[in-house]
Amino acid sequence: MSRIRRPGLAIAVILAGLALAPVATATPGPHADTGALRVSHAWIHLPPPGAATAAAYLTVSNRGRTPERLLGAVSPRVQAIEAHSMSVAGGVMRMRLLPRGFAITPGATLALAPGGDHLMVIGPRGPLRAGERVPVTLRFAHAGAVKIDFTVAADEPADTPAMPGMAMR
Ligand SMILES: [Cu+2]
């Protein structure tokens, strides 16, 4: 009798796994999860035709215990990707290269969004097209390389968190 019951049990376990599967894939858009870091909402603002640069945004949550830094990124699709700050002085918007990137303390979320700090995509190899997915390797001080696709879009994707432009706790 026990030989008959065991396969039944195995099938029940598999069915339970299948029932959970849709929950695990419900998160919209590409994301990457290293355990300590969760990266999501990665997108490149569609630049005007012929533009040499484009701004890119993403969200990174540091769920680990180690202070982290997003130093920059690379992609075979573009010449360079830099961490830039954005500030306004006397009504003039100014961008600056952040050689040490963006700090993400344990428990904090870095949410880059239009109008604020960003990743500067420099020198696309051919025009960036709306809907295109650009493969990017993010460089973190501790986690090292993390791969994620950035989606090229004219507007902020609908699944982007409402809070723009700052590190939140
Ligand atoms: Cu910039």
Q: What separation in Å is there between the alpha carbon of 11 and the centre of ligand 1?
A: 54
Q: What is the CATH number of the domain that holds 62?
A: 2.60.40.1890
Q: Are 66 and 106 a contacting pair, CB within 8 Å?
A: yes
pTM of the model: 0.76
pLDDT at 114: 94
pLDDT category of residue 31 using cuts at 50, 70 and 90: confident
- CA angle at 54 for the pair 44 and 145, rounded to the nearest 5°: 60
Token pair 């075979």 is found at: 76
Q: What separation in Å is there between the alpha carbon of 118 and the centre of ligand 1?
A: 6
Which three-class secondary structure state does DSSP give residue 80?
strand
Q: What separation in Å is there between the alpha carbon of 164 and the centre of ligand 1?
A: 16
In this structure, is residue 21 part of a structural domain?
A: no
- CA angle at 167 for the pair 164 and 169, rounded to the nearest 5°: 110
Q: Between β-strands 144-153 and 133-140, what pairing exists: parallel, antiparallel or unpaired?
A: antiparallel
The tally of domains found in the chain comes to 1
In this structure, is residue 36 part of a structural domain?
A: yes
For residue 136, the enclosing domain spans 30-168
Structure tokens at 162: 């409402």
Q: What separation in Å is there between the alpha carbon of 31 and the centre of ligand 1?
A: 23
Q: What separation in Å is there between the alpha carbon of 87 and the centre of ligand 1?
A: 11
Q: What separation in Å is there between the alpha carbon of 92 and the centre of ligand 1?
A: 14
Say how many C-beta atoms besides its own lie within 10 A of residue 13's C-beta.
9
In this structure, is residue 130 part of a structural domain?
A: yes
What mean pLDDT, rounded, does the chain reach?
A: 83
pLDDT category of residue 15 using cuts at 50, 70 and 90: very low
Q: How many residues does the chain have?
A: 169
Q: What separation in Å is there between the alpha carbon of 82 and the centre of ligand 1?
A: 8
In this structure, is residue 53 part of a structural domain?
A: yes
pLDDT at 29: 61
